[in-house]
Each structure stands twice: as structure tokens, then as C-alpha cells.
Amino acid sequence: MATYRLRGDSWQVQIRRSGHTPISRSFATRNDAEEWARRIESENTQDRPNSQDVNDGPTIGQLLDRYERDITPTKRSCDRERDKIRVIKRHAVSTISAVKLNSEAVARYRDERLQKVKPATVKRELAIIRHCIEIAMREWSLSITINPAIRIRLPRADNARDRRLTEAEYRRLMVALDNSKRWYMKPIVIVALETGMRRGEILSLEAKNVNLLDGIAHLPLTKNGKPRRVPLTQLAIDTLRPLISRPKLFPVSAPSVRQGWLNIANEADLVDFRLHDCRHEAISRFFEMGLSIPEVALISGHQSLAMLHRYTHLRPEKVGLKLRSLTSIQ
């Protein structure tokens, strides 16, 4: 039987069953709490081998608690992973005993989440479940021999983007940046467009790692875990020079930059152009300038040609001009 309580800004639901440990979760709305309770009670009614028994060991939710405490802090994207873990723990799959978890339950989680969020998001959540169980099997003495999260089909996440800036959009963007009250937005956007660096890489820039004389920005830690030395264009050097007196060139938070970009994109009337698309734009421009694949990969830090290709969107018009400028082979 499910009982509901409003505690602060969240609804807490608790399910009690005779002979079993009570299970509870908190949700932002009562509707979410009731939906979760119905799923749990439906599984119990159908007598699925998914509910927790006192002798069944830890649930998936309990394993995720330990994973969040011991493993997540070692990752660069730990804050985002914590958010994803909280989402998983609100789902019925988190109440299932780890030794009773089967591929059907994981597939059901996948299918239910696909109704609410994009495939790429579901893939990342499934990766956490998969890795959590793998760690539990190898290091926490979880007594199962096959990870059920490995056996299911992953959703296909076709989220490649090909958005480029037009010349008119670029001009409007520069005007909006000049008018912005957030001083840091214009140098961040210019550096992104001139170097292809990610937002986090730009925000991590320190004066000791930027050599304006040689035109090199050293990134000690990047997304793939490897350091990178990024060549700077003259515009990037000129943009960073007034900021080099600070130990940290951009002492601002990622949420501040995110909100600043939303305001600027709206002011410049940029439709469906994200800050991260500046990286796509920069890499495409590098190829249009005539740089080779190794040269662009050195700048962008891509480890594979396939991933570099995903970020490259050449304009056919520019390719046509280049072709017409070449001497034809007779």
C-alpha cells in the first residue's frame, strides 16, 4: 500500500508490503510519485522476480548510492553524473534487487525513458547503470555472473549537428556581444570561434598556461583526459591579451555563461545555434582555410577521424570556389 506525504517542496511516497522492507522515494510532483507507486505495485501484483527481499542483498538504488559516493567523484563530469543518478533512482528499476535484475527490467527502463527524453540521454543513463553493476561485480562482491545491462539494445542517438553561422548571423552576434553587460561573453565566444575550444576548456584557462608570445594555450586536462596545446590565431591572441593579468582568465561559472549565451542568442536572433556549435563552426572554418586533417585534429583534440568528421560541415559554395580556383589537369 502506498502512502504520500508532502515534505517541503517534494512529495514522498512509501510502499509497505507484508514481509518486505518498506521502500520510498521523493518526487517533485504528486503525479510523478503516484506513477512510480503504480509501477511498483503493478510489478508486485504480477509477481515479477524484481522486488526486494530482505535476503536479496542491495538494490540497484543502493548500489548507485555507493557508486555516487565512491566512483562519481573521480570523473570530470561528476556534477552531471549525479543529476543522472538522481533520475535513475526515481525510477522503479532502482528498487529491484541487484541479484534479481534482468534484462527485461533494464529494457523497460530504456523504453519508458525514451518516451520522455532523447536517445542520447538514455544512452548515458544506461551507461551509468551498466558501469555501476560492473564495478559491483568486480569490486563489491555482487554475486552475479552476467551484467543484465549489457545484454539490451542501446537506443540509437543520431544527434549530430550541422548548424553553421551565416555572415549576417555573425554580424548580429558581434553586435549583441558588444551590447552585453556580461563582459566575459564576447572574449569567450571569440576564442571559441577562433580555436574550437570547448566552453569548459576556455573557462579553465589560466595565465600561466597561455603564452601569447608563441601563440599557444596549454590545456592540462581536457574531455578525453589528455593535455592539449592549442595554437591561437591573431584575433584570439588580441582577445586574450587584456585578460592575461588575471591568474584565471575567466573567473565565472558555467551556469553564468549558459544564461549569458541564451540572452545573447535571443538578442542576435540566432535560431537553434548553441554555444557548443561555435566549436563546429571553428573546425569547419579550419578545413575551409586549407588546414590538413592532422593539423585540425591537433587543434581540436579529436582522437579519431570519425569524431572529427562529425564536427566538420563544409559549405559546398566554398568548396566550389576552391575547385574553380584550382588549375584543371589537362
Of the residues 123, 276, 313, 318, only one is catalytic, namely 276
User: DSSP for 11-43?
Assistant: EEEEE--TTS--EEEEESSHHHHHHHHHHHHHH
Q: Are 152 and 110 within 8 A, CB to CB? A: yes
* Residue 54: pLDDT band with limits 50, 70, 90: very low
226 is an active site residue? no
The grid coordinates listed for 35 are 506513477
Q: Region 201-220: what's the mean pLDDT?
A: 94
Average pLDDT of the segment spanning 245-266: 94
Name the pairing type of β-strands 23-27 and 10-15. Answer: antiparallel
- CB distance 203 to 254 below 8 Å: yes
What's the confidence (pLDDT) of residue 320?
65
What pLDDT, on the 0 to 100 scale, is given for residue 3?
84
Q: Which range, of 29-43, 58-72, 209-223, averages the lowest pLDDT?
A: 29-43
Indicate the DSSP class of residue 206: B
Q: What is the pLDDT of residue 6?
A: 83
**Active site (annotated) includes residue 223:** yes
Helix or strand (DSSP H, E) at 288: helix 277-288
What's the confidence (pLDDT) of residue 158?
A: 64
Residue 313 and residue 197 share a domain: yes
Mean of pLDDT values over 228-250: 95
Whether 330 has a pLDDT exceeding 90, the answer reads no
Which residue in the list 25, 199, 279, 285 is annotated as catalytic?
Answer: 279
Specify whether 235 is located in the same domain as 99.
Answer: no
Q: How confident is the model at residue 55 (pLDDT cuts 50, 70, 90)?
A: low
Does the pLDDT of residue 52 top 50, yes or no? no
The distance of Cα 49 from the centroid of its chain, to the nearest Å, equals 34
- Choose the weakest-confidence range: 220-229, 254-263, 316-325: 316-325
Q: Which residue of the set 67, 109, 184, 311 is catalytic?
A: 311
- CATH number of the domain bearing residue 274: 1.10.443.10
Q: What is the pLDDT of residue 44?
A: 58
Band the pLDDT of 46: cuts 50, 70, 90.
Answer: very low
State whether 215 and 189 are in the same domain. Answer: yes
Q: Is 198 annotated as catalytic?
A: yes
Let me know whether 139 and 2 are in one domain. Answer: no
Asked if residue 313 and residue 188 are part of one domain, the reply reads yes
User: Would you say 45 and 51 are in contact if contact means Cβ atoms under 8 Å apart?
Assistant: no
Whether 42 contacts 36, CB under 8 Å: no
**Alpha carbons 306 and 206: distance in angstroms, whole number:** 31
223, 246, 258, 315: the catalytic one is 223
143 and 195 fall within a common domain: no
Percent of the chain with pLDDT over 90: 56
Q: How far is Cα 199 from Cα 189, in angstroms, rounded to an integer?
A: 9
| Catalytic (active site) residue 311 | yes
In a shared domain, residues 189 and 225 = yes
pLDDT reported for residue 98: 92
Please indicate, yes or no, whether residues 189 and 321 belong to a single structural domain of this protein: yes
- Chain segment 64-119, per-residue pLDDT in tens: 999 999 999 888 778 889 999 999 999 989 999 999 999 999 999 999 999 999 89
* 313 catalytic residue (yes or no): no
For residue 19, pLDDT beyond 80:
no
Q: Which of 74-83, 250-259, 293-302, 306-315 has the lowest mean pLDDT?
A: 306-315
Q: Mean pLDDT over all residues of the chain?
A: 86
Number of domains forming the structure of the chain: 3
Distance from C-alpha of 298 to C-alpha of 278, rounded to nearest angstrom: 17
Report pLDDT for 77: 76
Q: Indicate whether 321 pLDDT > 70.
A: no
153 is an active site residue = no
* 188 and 318 housed in the same domain: yes
Catalytic residue, chosen from 108, 130, 198, 199, is: 198
Which of 122-131, 217-226, 317-326 shows the lowest mean pLDDT across its residues?
A: 317-326
What are the pLDDT digits (tens) for 173-190?
999 999 999 999 999 999
Instruction: Residue 177: name the closest of 248, 270, 241 by CA.
Output: 270
Same domain, 97 and 212: no
For the purposes of burial, counting CB atoms within 10 Å of the CB of 245, is it exposed (0-12), middle (13-18) or buried (19 or more)?
A: exposed
Global pTM value = 0.62
- Are residues 40 and 142 both part of a single domain? no
Share above pLDDT 70 across residues of the chain, in percent, rounded to a whole number: 85
Which pLDDT does position 33 carry in this prediction?
A: 81
The set of residues, in sequence order, having a beta carbon less than 8 Å from that of 92 and lying 6+ positions away, is 36, 39, 40, 43, 109
For the residues 276-281, what does the mean pLDDT come to? 92
Q: Does residue 119 sit within a domain? A: yes
Is residue 330 in some structural domain?
A: no
Residue finishing a domain among 135, 159, 183: 159
The answer to whether residue 194 scores a pLDDT higher than 90 is yes
Nearest of 205, 208, 163 to residue 184 by alpha carbon: 205
Domain residue limits at 34 = 1-47
